[in-house]
């Protein structure tokens, strides 16, 4: 399990980075923004978050295997 703030921080960074890449590099990067949004939506319904599992396995930023 990870603190909610860490997951929100990563999601915000991913969205902002993909928006910047979509604007300055190539518009296809906006698909990554959509992926993050879909993942956040499904996580709100199912409680399953892939990023939380990855961070838990790595044991970083206060996340533990759960």
Please indicate, yes or no, whether the overall pTM of this predicted structure exceeds 0.75: yes
- Region of 47 (left: φ > 0; alpha: ψ -120 to 50; beta: rest) is left
Per-residue pLDDT of 44-62, as tens digits, reads: 999 999 988 888 888 887 7
Q: What is the mean pLDDT of residues 21-31?
A: 97
């Amino acid at each position: 399990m990870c603190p909610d703030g860490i997951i929100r921080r990563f999601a915000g960074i991913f969205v902002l980075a993909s928006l910047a890449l979509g604007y300055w590099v190539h518009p296809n990067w906006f698909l990554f923004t959509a992926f993050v949004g879909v993942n956040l939506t499904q996580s709100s319904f199912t409680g399953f978050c892939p990023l939380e599992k990855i961070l838990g396995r790595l044991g970083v930023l206060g996340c533990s295997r759960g």
